[in-house]
Amino acid sequence: MALHTDGTIVMTTMRPGVPVRDQLPADSRILVLRLGGPGGKLVDLSHIPTTADEDLAGLTFEDPKGNTVFQHSAAHLMAQAIKELWPSAKLTIGPPDVNEFFYDIDRDPPFKPDEFPAIEAKMKEIAGRDLPIKRVELSADAARALFAKRGETYKLELIDSIAARGESTSAYEQGDFVDLCIGPHLPRTGLIRAVKVTSVAGAYWHGDERNKQLSRLYGVAFPDEEKMTAHLALLAEAEKRDHRKLGRELGLFLFPDEAVPGMPLFAPKGAHLRMQLENYSREQHLTHDYQPVWTPHILRKDLWRISGHLDHYAENIYFIHSNDKQEYGVKPMSCPAHCLVYRWEGHSYRDLPIRYSELSTVYRQERSGTLHGLLRVREVTQDDAHIFCTEEQLPEELNKVVDFVEQVLGDFGFKVGVEAFLSLKGPDQDVVGDPALWVQAEGILKAIVEKRGMKVVTELGEAAFYGPKIDFKVRDAIGRIWQCSTIQLDFNMPKRFGLEYTGADGAKHTPVMIHRALFGSVERFLGILIEHFAGEFPLWLAPVQARILSITSDVEPFAREIHAKLRAKGIRAELDASPDKIGYKIRTAELQKIPYMLVVGKREAAEGKVAVRRKGKGDQGAAAVDEVVERLTREIAARA
């Protein structure tokens, strides 16, 4: 066996007919198995190989999927602890993520933070029992009988849904506790050596506010206390940087009760901030030879039928019944409308590639339970673009897009990692188009990033319904990973819209379509930036770039002159001529994270200067007003 740095262990010469767990050394770090290569199915360590060379890999805690399985088992551990402490509590579902899990639980009264220590103590006690975790296959009837006896009414509803889909039913046992689950899981509870219940929130069953509100208990789990301590420190820093908290404190955006949930309102400072992103995007797209287009927010329902969205994405579309007896769809994506713009004129191969770009606001019916500040919204403004080209032009165009991705993310201080995440069609995924074209598209995307020296991480079943995609992720100032840019390759939608170009042979051909967004969405990217910079934006992005602070009222006329000069140069400046003491004014500007404070007293006014203070760096000395204006102008232009 060989351990890779990503937490994957390559496994060889497994004895057929013997469970893998019985073939591993006692100190093995393997938590779960991946069967069938990258993107393959995850199975328990109880898996029995059929051949000695079966394609198996062992995943450790360091592998994201191994980590998620660890959290999943911790969610079951918490559920067992709660059932032992409060037997009348009813369990619903508990999806895991990397370094985090939660479980939605129905209990009256709802859980409170002062109950967390009791839950943690019980979890540690159960983990100390080192209970084997065993998978049990059940018929639907047997599962109903089992969970009906336990009074788990939510599980009965889930069992009915599973049976309606024609899927098999399975559960996992650990001691006297049983939970409905598809798995996989850790082999035993004793591997969980550090746990923390971190928070509780309200959550509606199925994310529907018409249903009963449940307690959503969040937690983290680790194989040792040292890892958990480091993670909790990271969580504390992340809480300070939470974009929702900073958005309120800095006066950037709001989600009032009177508005639609998931559709933010931007206050002037937030609007200035997003305007910088949008202006930057427009400027860069023109520089990279994209042609601007604009398409309406509402289009006929038939358009979404042609594109395939009606069959594959309808649950996310807002539909409108108008008084002209027509039905319209509020656009969740711009690609069909861009196809109409392309189709409007005839095209020759000499015209290609054609690159359309649009800062397009689209709308998606996300479940209310999934909404999260700016990071998950229902109103999404994408820096959207679609490239129509020939197959021969694909390698060059795709490489240009990756170059563009690296440049844009680099301008905001991010570096694209050594990995590219390739989303492939899953075996049971409902998609459109010729399977052969899917294989071709997947191969093209993989070859592009591999030739650039990037490692390809495949994610099976995560493709868009019309084509595979590559996602690029970045690491922020405190080490968290965020998914940003995406590139999708589409052989299908141009065919569905009858798009053509005249080739060199005089015949009609179908172009290939590249969908791409570099920010991903303005709202999400803005949320990421707020947390990355902790609200302390570089000068060119800052909503307020400088604030003039007058010490006494008799220097106010000079302070107003400075304010006017800054504004005339396009610098976003404010004047604080209030009677407050200068120390208070400086502290207020620091708390509002304003990059430059220009202090004006009697001496500065007499000399035609200002005392310059830089956020986080303190006093920078006095300088002539024109010199300061020039300094700020240069720094803004450099996007430092």
What is the predicted pLDDT for the residue at 461? 82
What is the predicted pLDDT for the residue at 1? 41
Mean pLDDT of 318-336: 91
Q: What is the pLDDT of residues 588-637, one digit of tens each?
A: 999 999 999 999 999 999 999 999 999 989 999 999 999 999 999 999 99
364 is written with which tokens? Answer: 């998606």
Mean pLDDT of 514-527: 96
Looking at the DSSP assignment, which residues form a beta bridge with residue 133? none
Average pLDDT, the chain: 92
178 is written with which tokens? Answer: 């049983």
- Please give the Cα distance from 353 to 347 (Å, whole number): 10
543 contacts: CB under 8 Å, gap ≥ 6: 250, 252, 268, 269, 270, 272, 273, 537, 572
What is the predicted pLDDT for the residue at 224? 94
Residue 3 has pLDDT above 90, yes or no: no
Q: What is the pLDDT of residues 565-584, one digit of tens each?
A: 999 999 999 999 999 999 99
Lowest mean pLDDT among 89-98, 108-117, 490-499: 89-98
What is the predicted pLDDT for the residue at 394? 96
Write out the H or E segment, with its range, that includes residue 319. strand 318-321
Q: Is the dihedral of CA 536, 540, 543, 547 positive or negative?
A: positive
Read off φ and ψ for residue 618, nearest 5 degrees.
75, -155
DSSP 3-state assignment of 597?
strand
**CATH code 3.30.930.10 region(s) in the chain:** 265-533
Q: What is the pLDDT of residues 344-389, one digit of tens each?
A: 999 999 999 999 999 999 999 988 778 899 999 999 999 999 999 9
Residue 2 has pLDDT above 50, yes or no: no
What is the predicted pLDDT for the residue at 6? 47
Mean pLDDT of 388-404: 96
Mean pLDDT of 271-280: 95
Packing angle, helices 64-85 and 116-128, rounded to 10: 110
Catalytically active residues are 335, 364, 382, 384, 386, 469, 515
Lowest mean pLDDT among 125-139, 177-191, 224-238, 419-433: 419-433
The single-letter DSSP state of residue 231 is H
What is the predicted pLDDT for the residue at 294? 97
CATH number of 546-638: 3.40.50.800
* Contact (Cβ atoms closer than 8 angstroms) between residue 472 and residue 401: no
What is the predicted pLDDT for the residue at 10? 62
DSSP 3-state assignment of 632?
helix
3-state secondary structure string across 92-150: CCCCEECCEEEEEEECCCCCCHHHHHHHHHHHHHHHHCCCECEEEEECHHHHHHHHHHC
What is the predicted pLDDT for the residue at 97? 85
What is the predicted pLDDT for the residue at 254? 95
**CATH code 3.40.50.800 region(s) in the chain:** 546-638
Residue 38 has pLDDT above 50, yes or no: yes
- Please give the Cα distance from 536 to 252 (Å, whole number): 13
**CATH code 3.30.980.10 region(s) in the chain:** 65-241
Task: Indicate whether this model's pTM tops 0.85.
Answer: no
Q: pLDDT band at 8, cuts 50/70/90?
A: low
Q: Which of 155, 169, 181 is nearest to 96 (CA)?
A: 181
Looking at the DSSP assignment, which residues form a beta bridge with residue 424? 460
Mean pLDDT of 497-506: 96
- CATH fold, domain 65-241, is Threonyl-tRNA Synthetase; Chain A, domain 2 (3.30.980)
Say yes or no: domain 265-533 is CATH 3.30.750.24. no
Lowest mean pLDDT among 20-29, 236-245, 386-395, 570-579: 20-29
Residue 305 has pLDDT above 50, yes or no: yes
DSSP 3-state assignment of 367?
coil
Q: Which of 154, 185, 218 is nearest to 45 (CA)?
A: 185
Considering just the CA atoms, what is the radius of gyration of the chain in Å?
28
